[in-house]
């Protein structure tokens, strides 16, 4: 068997190394030669669903990847913590004045301005998580302590963790007990209502019956009033007709009476005129009346004298009268 030539073996080795370098460059996307910024975040809760290689995003834009996850247990209190190492791509973050190289000083200023890390759910189906960076001004910067040369970004609870905390603060056992007590009270109220609704329904039925009877009586009374009103209107019409007839019948008599009264008035006027003529100073009849009155006065005077003589001497007076 011929011995292998060293040149051929060396060529194959060099070719394999070249192919390996090309494959690494193609698969790594030339990021092996890129300078990344390594930071650390520490989450207090569970990180189930977060794996190495998970994306690190800033408002949906990928700016890095998860490099490492470890579990650290503090001694002696045995309090666990999970530091997560992140590699940030400086080319994906542009700073002031168009700079493309992120520095620790820039990140420190961003942390002071409220830059925080938060777990975010990538998919409800797979349950995978990623790390989302964003500004949350006003939130406390809780730092655990990163290794030398590594910058720590404070974390805040995820939306799901905040929801769990809110449920925990709600004191569900006490809430369930209050709900049970409220339901029991409602059952008592409903039972009391059931006991009261029966008599109330009977009372409503009686009231409805009374109202119906009252309505019927009112209807009958209204009908009778209508009949009486009709009869009254008929009587009023008849009275009006009779009055018109009476006025028509008595109109002629009234006219005759008025004419007779007019004639009587005319005759009275004539009589008054005659009396005026009789009593006039130049009326002959008035002179006759005055003479008659003088004769009557003289006769009355003679009668008084005779009566006086008769009272003083009745016998002599009679004899004198006889001798005459």
Task: Encode pLDDT of 108-124 as tens digits.
Answer: 888 888 889 888 888 77
User: Which percentage of the chain shows pLDDT scores above 90?
Assistant: 5
- Choose among 174, 138, 140: nearest CA to 154: 140
Cβ atoms of residues 120 and 160 within 8 Å: no
Cβ atoms of residues 116 and 136 within 8 Å: yes
Q: Is 290 left (phi over 0), alpha (psi -120 to 50) or beta?
A: alpha
| Domain residue limits, the chain | 34-170, 280-323
**293-324 burial, b for 16+ CB within 10 Å, e for fewer?**
eeeeeeeeeeeeeeeeeeeeeeeebeeeeeee
Q: What pLDDT was estimated at residue 294?
A: 77
Q: What pLDDT was estimated at residue 55?
A: 92
**169-197 burial, b for 16+ CB within 10 Å, e for fewer?**
eeeeeeeeeeeeeeeeeeeeeeeeeeeee
**d(C-alpha 193, C-alpha 177), whole Å:** 24
Of residues 213 and 99, more confidence is placed in 213
The answer, yes or no, to whether residue 267 has pLDDT greater than 80, is: no
A 10 A CB-CB count for 286 gives: 14
Kindly indicate the confidence band of residue 35, based on its pLDDT and cuts at 50, 70 and 90. confident
**Which 3 state secondary structure label does DSSP give 163?**
helix
Of residues 168 and 210, more confidence is placed in 210
pLDDT in tens, 308-322: 776 777 666 666 655
> pTM score, two decimals?
0.43
Q: Show the tokens assigned to 36.
A: 């990344």
Kindly indicate the confidence band of residue 164, based on its pLDDT and cuts at 50, 70 and 90. low
Q: What pLDDT was estimated at residue 231?
A: 84
The answer, yes or no, to whether residue 1 has pLDDT greater than 50, is: no
β-bridge partners, 119: 131
β-bridge partners, 170: none
Q: Show the tokens assigned to 25.
A: 């460059």
**DSSP H/E element including 144:** none
- Choose among 84, 73, 78, 64: nearest CA to 154: 84
β-bridge partners, 134: 116
- Sequential DSSP letters for 74-102: ETTTTEEEEEEEEEE-GGG---GGG----
Q: Show the tokens assigned to 284.
A: 């002959």
The answer, yes or no, to whether residue 167 has pLDDT greater than 60, is: no
């Amino acid at each position: 068997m011929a011995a292998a030539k060293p040149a051929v073996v060396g060529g194959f080795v060099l070719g394999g190394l070249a192919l390996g370098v090309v494959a690494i460059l193609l698969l790594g996307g030339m990021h092996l030669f890129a300078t990344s910024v390594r930071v650390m975040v520490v989450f207090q809760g569970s990180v189930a669903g977060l794996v190495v290689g998970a994306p690190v995003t800033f408002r949906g834009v990928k700016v890095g990847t998860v490099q490492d996850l470890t579990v650290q247990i503090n001694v002696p209190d045995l309090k666990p913590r999970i530091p997560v190492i992140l590699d940030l791509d400086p080319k994906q973050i542009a700073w002031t004045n168009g700079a493309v190289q992120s520095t620790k000083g820039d990140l420190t200023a961003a942390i002071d301005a409220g830059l925080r890390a938060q777990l975010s759910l990538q998919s409800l189906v797979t349950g995978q998580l990623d790390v989302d960076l964003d500004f949350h001004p006003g939130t406390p910067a809780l730092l655990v302590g990163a290794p030398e040369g590594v910058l720590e970004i404070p974390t805040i609870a995820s939306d799901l963790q905040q929801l769990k905390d809110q449920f925990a603060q709600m004191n569900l056992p006490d809430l369930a007990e209050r709900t049970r007590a409220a339901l029991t009270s409602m059952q008592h109220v409903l039972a009391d209502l059931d006991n009261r609704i029966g008599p109330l329904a009977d009372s409503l039925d009686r009231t409805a019956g009374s109202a119906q009877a009252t309505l019927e009586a009112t209807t009958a009374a209204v009908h009778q009033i209508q009949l009486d009103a009709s009869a009254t209107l008929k009587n009023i019409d008849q009275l009006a007709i009779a009055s018109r007839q009476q006025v028509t019948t008595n109109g002629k008599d009234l006219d005759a009476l008025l004419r007779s009264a007019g004639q009587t008035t005319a005759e009275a006027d004539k009589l008054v005129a005659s009396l005026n003529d009789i009593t006039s100073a130049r009326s002959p009849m008035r002179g006759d009346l005055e003479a008659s009155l003088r004769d009557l006065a003289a006769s009355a005077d003679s009668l008084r004298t005779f009566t006086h003589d008769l009272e003083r001497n009745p016998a002599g007076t009679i004899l004198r009268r006889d001798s005459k």
